[in-house]
């Protein structure tokens, strides 16, 4: 019996990705700027002092 023919088909392993994958000269993705520690603390203090909204389902 030829056991090499049993089982599912082998997947495509060494095929190149699409033509736009990692092209040379493509624009780099830009990460959004991180907030400073002062901005973070101000946002946290504002969230802590904001009134708590009750859930209308309860």
Task: Check residue 58 and give its pLDDT.
Answer: 59
Kindly state the average pLDDT of the residues 32-56: 88
Kindly state the average pLDDT of the residues 24-45: 86
Task: Check residue 22 and give its pLDDT.
Answer: 64
Confidence of residue 44 (pLDDT cuts 50, 70, 90): very high
* Torsion sign (Cα): 37, 42, 48, 54: negative
């Amino acid at each position: 019996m030829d056991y090499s023919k049993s089982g599912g088909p082998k997947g495509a392993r060494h095929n190149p990705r699409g033509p736009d994958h990692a092209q040379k000269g493509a624009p780099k993705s830009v990460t959004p700027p991180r907030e400073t520690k002062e901005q973070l603390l101000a946002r946290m203090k504002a969230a802590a002092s904001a009134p708590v909204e009750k859930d209308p389902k309860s």
